[in-house]
Structure 1
Amino acid sequence: MTSRVRDCESANAHYFHRASGSEGRNRRAKGSGLLGVSRANAVINRRALAYTRKRKEPWMHAAHQKAYKGAGMEGWVARWYTRTRQNDMADFRREAKAVADRLASGASVLEVAPGPGFFAIELVKLQNYRITGLDISRTLVRIATDNARRAGVKIDFCLGDASAMSFPDECFDSVYCSAAFKNFAEPIKALDEMHRVLRPRV
């Protein structure tokens, strides 16, 4: 299990399907290297940590810190991150096309840690998918919801912890997670949760 999580952390984008039968417990992850954001995330964490040493932000509550390593993605950090990722829209479109090629029309998709929601928005533009985005950041949930509204698409962005999802078992056809495992305080639990909410592939 640990080696599989380590593999996930080394890749930039992860797209999960649940295998049927006895293979169901083998977390199968297919990665693509289109979203190279590890350097950007490292910069964000360094800047945010330096900032919060000087000023205690009200959004840095215990529940958020427990679920997310580093200073977190709230307030000005989330807004700064959103502005930087707007420069990568071509990458989001290419990644969305690659994922859409492996999804059936109307599939239900969970994106874990969608951030500003750019990937989910590009994906739903391609097909009539039912997309849910789960993020630990209140600021990013608001930003993603606003971005989807402005784009004229319907996506359910909600607040939650990847390691303790409130969704029922086997409720999504696919789960997508990009550049986030390195930020999870409990990556193994997060991977277990992603597997739990996936429907077995027939």
Structure 2
Amino acid sequence: MTARSRLERGQAFPIYIMMVAGLLFLALAFFAVGKASALRNGAQGAADASALAAAQSAREQFQAPFIAALWANSIDTFLQRSPFYAACSAAQGLASDNDADLKSCSPKEGGRRDTITTKVEGRGTVDSSVIPGSDHIVAKAKATAIVEFRCDWTSVDLNNDGVRDVYFFTCDDGKMAEIRPSSPPPWSSVSKILFDVHLVDQ
């Protein structure tokens, strides 16, 4: 009985080693999958932040051309050709702050709904010993933000000289804004009423 017991233990040992090796492989594989998921989430966060930053930067840059459009009574023309200038420069900064690199930033004019789409690539790699080539696998993500003009307006010519002196804006959320082109309020106090910035679900 003793010899047979030792023989059975000897036969079971390689099976035990294989089981331990298999469990270790699974643990490393699950770790790699978890790391890949974390990298993907991080890249998506970077893409979201960069798109929002670009859209908010664009909204800030609307001030001068928007006031000029009020003077010319040509808001519709402004909305059809909203200027973006260097809005995408803000996207790179936010992507970098989130450990990613901006690969593209694409503004698109759309009347009352302008969009900016950013694509980023994370700087970290999966780098798993159980996945060949994973030291070169990086997370990629994209996001789109909208700059939306959400108001209707009326204007008044107080001096009957053909120049619109006051504009009254009524916006979708019930907020209102009054702008006199000759003495406009701080842009920061009215831009967020006139233009909403938000992400689009991918």
Relative contact order: is structure 1 or structure 2 higher (C-alpha 8 Å, sep ≥ 6)?
A: 1
- Say whether the fold is shared (TM-score over 0.5): no
User: TM-score if structure 1 supplies the norm length?
Assistant: 0.25
Q: More strand per residue: 1 or 2?
A: 2
Greater C-alpha radius of gyration: 2
